[in-house]
A and B are shown apart, each in its own frame.
Chain A
Amino acid sequence: MSAAARVSVVIPVKNGDRYLEELLAALAREHVDEILVIDSGSSDRSIQIARSAGVELLEVQPEQFGHGRTRNLGAEQTSGELICFLTQDATPCPGWLAAYREAFRLGDRVGGAYGPHLPRPDTSPMIARELTEFFATFTADGAPVIQRNGDPTFLSNVNACYSRACLEEIRFRDVRYSEDQAFGSDMLEAGWIKVYHPGAAVLHAHDYGTLEFMRRYFDEYRGLRSSIGHIEPVGLRSGVRDVRSLLAGDVRWMRDQDYSAGKRLRWGARSLVHHSGRKVFSGLGSRAEALPGILRRCLSLEGDSYTPSDGTEKDIPTVSMPKRTPVAEPAKLDLHEYETIARVLRDGPVALADAVPGMADRERLHLAFVIPPFSEGSGGHNIIFQLMYRLEQRGHTCSIWVDDPFGHRRYEWPAVVRASIREHFVPVQAPVHKDFGDWHGADVVVATGWQTVYPALTLDGVRARAYLINDHEPEFYPTSVESRWAEETYRLGLYGICGSPWLRDLYVEHYGGTGEVFDYGVDHDIYKPRPIERRDDTVVFYCRSTTPRRAVALGVMALHELYRRRPDLRVVMFGERHPLLAPFPYEQFGVASPEELSWLFCEGTVGLCLSMTNYSLIPQEMLACGLPCVDLQGASAESVFGADGPVELSAFETHALADHIELLLDDRDLWQRRSQAGIEFVSERSWDRATDQVERSLRNALRQYDCEFQASSGRVP
């Protein structure tokens, strides 16, 4: 492209008299060769201004106007080698044309170039900041940037310049909005390159009222959807987070621009409304085609129910929009989620504090429980909190430390976590801490899940470390680092307090640890026989499909088989919020409260709760209500209930499982025997007894360390 290439400027106009005079004067100052104003039905002074400036004027009917179509027409009506497009409210800054000429000299295949939009002095701070920060992302050092296929496709006809060769090869699509974005994508795909030149700046900002802004966003995002397939994500939590972040950015920007406090307050309120409305309207705009026509007309600034005639979804190119991060803030370096594991594996555990003789027998201990994040209904957490509650009642001081390296529950602050425990589990007195910034030592720190073992090993001021093992967690994972690191926790020397003999044997014999067993308790105030007639056709199935070890698919297959044999079978499923797809009719009980479950267990005929690793609390709760239960043999259930105890144990096989359920449905003697044995079995199992066992284990953990300490310091224990 020669330095003296002829330049034409095309300006579509409709009622644009506010800035048109200023714009044409700026173009005259830049010495462009040709100016074409295309008016589409202005009722203000726009036509007079164009005529008096002596520029070419083309008038089209408003209904013939289209952002792509009209610009194609403008290109055909002009003769320059370079064709610039400006909007009626974009005033070129000095050096604008020279910058475009320079841009086209950067390569042979430069098909288009664009420059930044600078805010006018009266532009709202929201728009001013957005423009400034958005265009700053394109160049780090203020130099022109060449963009090729794979780079951001952004292009804006508010202020852009094209080579005629490129425009003749790739025309603007006939879409209502975002023809420039579509063109940017098309030209890069066709092998053209584009240039962002920071010197080719225009003063430009839309100056709408709040509602107009919203409707404008609706139209823009509808256009983005139809032209480049962009769908604005929608979500309450993410939306609130985004709006809060944008508002904070605006306030910070206003402070940097020395806005007075009053103006900051006023514009802050506007900013909140602006960004909130934008979130809503942009989301709606992206999904405009799913809205009724009348609603589209109401929400659109154009006031129509336009449906794109091209750019349909099948030929929508996938593009990456430029990331709108403020350049002033460098990326933060942060520790990765497995940093604690890395530290323990690298440096080993922190040394325990010196043992104090007699501490194991001290009446009150200070116990710190490190727990993973939880949600309502978590059985493992129920066990932890039941024990903690009763340890507190015995005078021990407990504290809760939530270890959440992945930030699953980062939006729940400590007081909220504590209230959640008290509301959904038991009313513990312990304070809740998130992370370990306030750590102040403890007599015994209790890890309660494999992930919590690693942070527990980094805590100082501790005289013993215990590990409440409720399941064999390596089995929760496929072959993975998590599986290996979970296994590793059993070899790190913590005193195991295991939820079944099966787990204790694994911990001691397979992993070489030291530990004891405790028996899960049952809340006998809730789970007990109730005055309701027991049915003879009902299977109550614990179908928590989000927990793979509950073998839900196997249970469904067995129930399907049973349904084939007994079409009058009634199945009630619980434990899962959403109904499961099943090839037989069933009643969905969802996630129910303990009280509701106990009534269900008292009404059912047979319980079905499958455990492929350690046994669940559910079978005991069913037994306490007199409901015989079927579980899988070969894992932990046998170690707890015995081979011919209160629970009917089945092989891992569909027909065998169906047979066992059917046996309990048909054989009244067997049913009676299992039911009675179940009630007797669980009568001894209470949370108080479980707490006795756990308390004893905690004291043994202290004793064991005391002995080791005495031995290592050369004293006789």
Chain B
Amino acid sequence: MSTPGVSNDQELQREIEYLRARVQALEAELVEVQAQANAAVAHWQERAYWLDRWHLDLNELMRRPGADYVRGALRAVRSIVRVLKRAKSRLTP
């Protein structure tokens, strides 16, 4: 004959154990995510070294009114260079 109280206690204990394990798993997952986020930030800081060194914030720069004109001018130069390259490749045997 089983005792209902004992069964409930055991179930509760199992539930607590399960929840503890789950919390620990989630914590471990969080640490992993934080480690990856840190690594990503560190990686981009390495890549952005010269921008930071020269205090260049490209997003800020490109938001300025003249940036559209500069980009347009660069596109125009690029298209001319491409046309010239294409012409050269056609003329070169």
CB A100 to nearest CB in B, in angstroms, measures 42
| A261-B65 in contact (CB<8A) | yes
A residues less than 8 Å from B23 (CB atoms): 356-357
* Contacts A397-B35, A411-B55 given; does A418 touch B24 at CB 8 Å: no
The answer to whether B49 and A419 have CB atoms under 8 Å apart is yes
Which residues of chain A are within 8 angstroms of B42 by Cβ–Cβ distance?
Answer: 418, 429-431
Closest chain-B Cβ to A348's Cβ sits at a distance in Å of 27
CA distance A261 to B38 in the complex (A): 42
Tell me, rounded to whole Å, the shortest Cβ–Cβ distance linking A533 to chain B: 43
Contact residues in B for A398 (Cβ distance below 8 Å)? 38
Q: CB-CB < 8 A to B51: which residues of A?
A: 415
Inside 8 A of A430's CB, which chain B residues have their CB?
38, 42
Nearest chain B residue, comparing its CB with the CB of A397: B35
Bound-state Cα–Cα, A262 to B72, Å:
12
Given the known interface contacts A255-B65, A432-B45, the answer about A399 and B52 at a Cβ–Cβ threshold of 8 Å is no
| Interface residue range, chain B | 20 to 34
Stretch at the interface among A68-76, A187-195, A361-369, A587-595: A361-369
Binds A, one of B4-12, B26-34, B80-88: B26-34
Select from chain A the residue with minimum beta-carbon distance to B27: A356
Q: Which residues of A contact B34 (CB under 8 A)?
A: 366, 397, 440
Which B residues touch A359, using CB under 8 A? 27
* B66 touching A264, Cβ below 8 Å: yes
Bound-state Cα–Cα, A366 to B39, Å: 13
| Contact flag A358-B24 (CB < 8 Å), given A255-B65, A397-B38, A418-B42 | yes
B14 to chain A, nearest CB (A): 17
Identify which of A362, A364, A415, A443 contacts B52 (C-beta below 8 A): A415
Query: How far, in Å, is B66 (CB) from chain A's closest CB?
Result: 6
Is A405 positioned at the interface, with any CB of B under 8 Å from its CB? no
Which one, B31, B35, B69, contacts A265 given CB within 8 A? Answer: B69
**Is there a chain A Cβ closer than 8 Å to B41's Cβ?**
yes
- C-alpha spacing A359/B34, complex, angstroms: 15
Check if B45 sits within 8 Å of A415, measured CB to CB: yes
The chain B residue sitting closest to A411, CB to CB, is B55
Q: Which residues of B contact A364 (CB under 8 A)?
A: 28, 31, 35
Contacting pair A415 B31 (CB below 8 A): no
- In the complex, which residues of chain B have a beta carbon less than 8 angstroms from the beta carbon of A356? 23-24, 27
Instruction: Determine if A416 is an interface residue (Cβ-Cβ < 8 Å).
Output: yes
Q: Which residues of B contact A440 (CB under 8 A)?
A: 34, 37
Of A365, A397, A411, A430, most buried by chain B (CB within 10 Å of CB) is A397
Given contacts A261-B65, A265-B69, A399-B38, contact A415 B27 (CB under 8 A): no
**A413 within 8 A of partner (CB):** yes
Which of A365, A397, A399, A415 sits near B49, CB closer than 8 Å? A415
At the interface, yes or no: B53 with Cβ under 8 Å from chain A?
yes
User: Which one, B27, B38, B52, B65, contacts A431 given CB within 8 A?
Assistant: B38
A172 and B65 alpha carbons, distance in the complex (Å):
49
CB-based nearest B residue for A428: B42
B69 to chain A, nearest CB (A): 5
In the complex, are the beta carbons of A362 and B27 less than 8 A apart? yes
- Complex CA gap A413/B54 in Å reads 9
Which residue, B20, B23, B38, has most C-beta atoms of chain A within 10 A? B38
Complex-state Cα separation, A365 to B20, whole angstroms = 18
Find chain B residues with CB under 8 A from A362 CB: 24, 27-28, 31
Chain A residue contacts of B28, Cβ below 8 A: 362, 364
Which A-chain residue is minimally distant from B53 (CB atoms)?
Answer: A416
Does A431 contact B41, Cβ atoms closer than 8 Å?
A: yes
Which residues from A are CB-within-8-Å of B38? Answer: 397-399, 429-431
**CB nearest neighbor in A for B64:** A251
Query: Per-residue 0/1 for B40-51: is the Cβ within 8 Å of any A Cβ (1 yes, 0 no)?
Result: 011001101101
A389 CB to closest chain B CB, in angstroms? 13
Chain B residues with Cβ under 8 A from A251's Cβ?
Answer: 66
Set of chain A residues within 8 Å of B48, measured between Cβ atoms: 415
Interface centre among B31, B37, B66 (most CB of A within 10 A): B31
Q: Is the CB of B45 within 8 A of A365?
A: no
By the criterion CB–CB under 8 Å, are B69 and A413 in contact? no
* A414 and chain B: residue at smallest CB distance: B45
**Bound state CA distance, A356 and B19, in angstroms?**
12
Complex contacts, A416 vs chain B, CB 8 Å: 49, 52-53
In the complex, what residues of A have CB within 8 A of residue B52's CB?
Answer: 413-416
A-B contact pairs, 18 of them (CB 8 A): A265-B69, A356-B24, A358-B24, A359-B27, A362-B27, A362-B28, A364-B31, A364-B35, A365-B31, A397-B35, A413-B53, A414-B45, A414-B52, A415-B46, A415-B51, A416-B52, A418-B46, A430-B42
Contacts beyond the supplied A356-B27, A399-B38, A415-B51: 19 A-B pairs with Cβ under 8 Å: A261-B66, A261-B69, A362-B28, A364-B28, A364-B35, A365-B31, A366-B34, A397-B34, A411-B55, A415-B49, A415-B52, A415-B53, A416-B52, A419-B46, A419-B49, A429-B39, A430-B42, A431-B41, A440-B37
A contacts, CB < 8 Å to B: 251, 255, 261-262, 264-265, 268, 356-359, 362, 364-366, 397-399, 411, 413-416, 418-419, 429-432, 440, 443
8 shortest A-B CB distances, which residue pairs?
A413-B52, A415-B52, A431-B41, A415-B45, A431-B42, A397-B35, A261-B69, A415-B49
